[in-house]
Structure 1
Amino acid sequence: MKHLKLLLLLLGLVQGLQLKAQDFALKGVVIEKGSNVRIALAEITNIRTKMGAASNDIGMFQLSARVGDTLWVKKRNLTDQKIVVKTDGDLVVYLVRGSTTLEEVTVKGQTKKQEMEDIKRDLKHNGSFYAGKPPLILLNPFGGSPLTFFYELFGKTPARARNFNRYYKKELGLIEVDKFFNKSLVTSYTKLRGKELDKFLLDYYPSSSTTSNWNNYDAVKYIKESAKKYTDTLRHTN
């Protein structure tokens, strides 16, 4: 009888370890702490797999994970959160709203930019000098390096470099936009608050090409004019 109990205990431990090692479809919801408002379009990334998902209109998301994975959850104008997956049950993630003044955005943007530059250097040192986009001159048999050319096209490190460069360009654009369009500036120059403010920030977020030549005057002008359009729309729909 004792041997049977021991065997059953060992089987239970083995099954538990297998469960921890298996990927499953993790379901969750992202909520703003304090207001209990569900957050749409939050970015959820599994740090282990580098795969991501976005929350839908009611804050729900789903992505592949396993017990022990760490998820990085972020949403513009809210504080990033890292969550460890402890079970295969549904996950609730609470994000805290943070202040985003122009000065803070600039400092954070420069810090993030420096971090991305460090990653680029690491990729280069690990064997991707051309970031996965080799020049055709490398195919020249006289003085070129065909092996390097094909490595940059098909190697794993250059492939990572290409993916990172796409992310790098996108993030640089968002950092510049955040300098001119953030919660602090909008609340300073409009009367929008609460859910109306959140929807305005989402609906009227300008593109990086729009803000490329902006100064503070242009930013304030855009915020005021856009807020007027937004409030006029609200009046007509109510």
Structure 2
Amino acid sequence: MKNYIFLFTFLLVAAFCTAQDADKVIGVVINSADDTPLESVNIVNLNQVIGTSTNSKGEFKISAKANDTLHFSYLGFKSIKVRVTNDWLKFGSSKIELTELALALEEVVVNQLKLTGYLEVDVMQVPEVNKNYRYSISGLPSTGYEAGKPTAVTKILGSIFNPADFLYRMFGKKPNELRKLKKMKQDDEIRNLLASRFDREMLTVLLQVDRVDLDEIVSQCNYSKGFIQTANDLQILDAISECYEEYKLLSRGRSKRL
């Protein structure tokens, strides 16, 4: 009798463990050129908006369901998307190959300043430093808008009193992508991945927008050109999320007045 109880318990535990891993896929990422494992490859489930990275052996495990799409990216290698299949979920580990990119360094031109000794003349040769300012709007919970000094006031007034057509076109027609914003902000692994990136690739893939449109969104949200050029992907994500929350608040305010 004890043997039957032990066997039943063993089968029950095995079934439970199998069920726990039924929604996960495992694999190893390698360099297609020499089959060496790649460590710290960024992996994101685009459907569930969760992420992970490979370990020192190139191995990974991530939650996924059949037909989910996994995005693999690694510095110096071509990014790829892989569809999760029932066979992958059922039979275990899969080998993912990444192809190395040929990178070319851009030419850097150094201009030497020739000082004359006359302060008025020499000051004119010094490149102008781009100064950015943040402006707060009464009634909004955030720290406000960042913008260049010449057009900051007009942009802020426009964002309040105009219909914000561009934001509506970008935000209003992509509710699924906007829901991903919240998931991206909640997933620590995603945030850690974005904090170390400056290429905007993961953001464009997750939000399903082009790089040009992504920069335009941040620009229309009154963030300066300097911020857009220097911010990491996590800062851009937070900027878009903050802008959208303010846009919704302003839209509700207009609806009540109407």
Instruction: Point out the structure with the larger helix share.
Output: 1
Q: TM tier, shorter chain?
A: 0.3 to 0.5
Query: Radius of gyration: which is bigger?
Result: 2
Normalising to structure 2: TM-score of the pair?
Answer: 0.36
